[in-house]
A and B are shown apart, each in its own frame.
Chain A
Amino acid sequence: MEPTLMRHKPFCDIKNLHVSFHGRTVLQKVNLTLSDSGILVLVGSSGSGKTTFLRSLNRLNEHYSGYSGGGKIELKLSGSMQDIHCPDLEVTELRRQVGMVFQTPNVLPVSIAQNINLPLKLVTGLDKAEREGRLIEVLQEVHLWDEVKDRLKENSARLSGGQQQRLCLARVLALKPKVLLLDEPTASLDFKASHKIEDLLIELQDRYQIIAVSHSLRQARKIAGQILVMKEGQIEHLLKKDQFENPEMLQKLLEDIF
């Protein structure tokens, strides 16, 4: 094992990805090789195809009406690069390994514990004791355990927005994913709750390959290891850390883009 070399190895390889809905092109001719250098943040104006790009990686676009698309996407799952459209890879297994957190917290209208238990039970088939262990583990991982340990049986709708979003994250982490897709995970949260999530993501970046859509440049600069700029359904730039840490250069690039 050469842990130092693990960084900067490609984890995602995309060839000629194109997606359209009802005949309207959303993504076109996306060719991209991404290497592992921390959190990848997607930015771009609305309608530039960020969310669609994200959903291509766990094949969730296929659930939208009027979808048609093609191209080849390889992701590093369980140690090797795998074609996500390969018939040998069940789409349910792909989505277990490529977890997703949505823009607005979408907890299930059941208890806090059940929000994590139900997917565990249905997807992994772990027994009760193992599930309980996993529940505590992931709630600690998202720093929610101390806040909810005495009210696990309460309805999750009673949590605050930020807590709900962390619960959604815990729900995904419980399934032991390799890749985390986050679609503007702080868009519906206040400043303080957003900060908590951002710090959490920075903590988690060594354990999971994180790809996040962001609407805020401040956030992108804070958490990103690399920034992917999208425009009109295409990749405009892939910025390395030294490029976007220089504010003048970043400003100039963004003026070009928007």
Chain B
Amino acid sequence: MNKLLNFGIYCWSWIATLGVFLVVGLLLFYLLSQGLPTIGKELFFGDAPAWKAILGQVRVWDALWPACVGTLFLVLIAALLAVPLGISSGIYLACFAPKSVKRILSLLVELLAGTPSIVMGLFGFAMILFLRNTFFPNANTSLLLSSVCLALLILPYLIFTTQAALESLSDEYLLIGPSLGFNQIQTVFHVLIPAAGRGILSGVVLSIGRAAEDTAVIMLTGVIANAGLPQGLLGKFEALPFRIFYLAAEYRTSAELDSAYGTALVLLSLTGILYGGAFALHKTLELRWNQH
């Protein structure tokens, strides 16, 4: 009976694993077969000459370039806002917070991590409504607003990874600083953070990947389909994930739908590269610690 149960569990785990591989494989295969043929100058720049489009001298219609630039700016601004805040919070939680404070703050960060992105978008939208009715009648959804809301979305990832990287250091390592007569600040900044640096960095890369792919937040806070290149912090913008959503929802020809697959492929490669970078960082980090 016990043997049969064991065999059953063995088979089931095989089937389950195989199933996951099949689903992911099929998805990738389908995306590649539909999207790969559309990748080319046409997809990125439409009818516009490439160099002039890159320099912003001509307007690009019905192509990816403005969305690529929009996503780039969006991610950069969100990261600029969230990375310093998130890393500092993580350091505080791991190294300085008293136990009772830590418990409350960790709960709040978990709550933030569990907030669906559409709620974050709604929050941004509500904030604009509030500002319009009070201090700034001209306030409107924009690149800045989207970046702020995205920053809120990725903040918990940064806090968690920083905290985890610092807390995973060995007990003996934590004692090097104090045993040499360093005070707490010196220990944190000269011993612990350099050692946790790569872990923290991989958290940054992961959160940037998360910011690049989110659609729900930006949909309510300033992205539009044909904005062209972003015209400043308070202007509207285009973004890759929204372009996929828009093309898939409102395509008129099958070529348009195919270009949505191409766009998805571009976004997937972009986040894939970022995740790959994070993975490589994790690996080297582990290697380095195993040598001790």
Contact = CB atoms under 8 A, between A and B. Distances in A.
B84 interface: no
A222 B292 CA distance: 29
Contacts of B195: 108-109
B182 A92 contact: yes
B254 interface: no
Contact of B172 (A106, A119, A157, A175): A106
B178 A118 contact: no
A96 B288 contact: no
A100 interface: yes
Contact of B186 (A104, A122, A171): A122
Nearest to B99: A65
B58 interface: no
B180 A102 contact: no
Contacts of B182: 92, 119, 122-123
B181 A63 contact: no
Contacts, number: 56
Contacts of A60: 175, 178-179
Interface of chain A, main secondary structure: helix
B174 interface: yes
Interface string A79-97: 0000000000000111110
B191 interface: yes
A57 B174 CA distance: 18
B47 to A, nearest CB: 54
Contacts of B186: 122
Most buried by B among A110, A119, A175: A119
A175 B194 contact: no
B7 interface: no
A58 B183 contact: no
Interface residues of A, number: 25
A109 B288 contact: yes
Interface of chain B, main secondary structure: helix
Contacts of B292: 104, 106, 157
A108 B182 CA distance: 14
Nearest to A110: B194
A172 B180 contact: yes
Interface string A115-129: 000110011000000
A119 B180 contact: yes
Contacts of B178: 60, 63, 95
Nearest to B180: A119
A245 B198 CA distance: 52
A177 to B, nearest CB: 9
Contacts of A110: 194
Interface of A: 58, 60, 63, 92-96, 99-100, 102-104, 106, 108-110, 118-119, 122-123, 157, 171-172, 175
30 contacts: A58-B179, A60-B175, A60-B179, A63-B174, A93-B181, A94-B181, A95-B180, A96-B180, A96-B181, A99-B179, A99-B180, A100-B179, A102-B172, A102-B175, A102-B179, A104-B292, A106-B173, A108-B176, A108-B191, A108-B194, A108-B195, A110-B194, A118-B190, A119-B180, A122-B190, A123-B180, A123-B181, A123-B182, A157-B288, A175-B181
List of 10 A-B pairs having minimum Cβ-Cβ separation, nearest first: A96-B181, A95-B181, A100-B179, A92-B181, A119-B180, A123-B181, A122-B186, A106-B176, A106-B172, A92-B183
Interface of B: 172-176, 178-183, 186, 190-191, 194-195, 288, 291-292
Given A157-B288, A157-B291, A172-B180, 9 more contacts: A60-B179, A92-B182, A93-B181, A99-B179, A99-B180, A106-B292, A109-B194, A110-B194, A119-B182
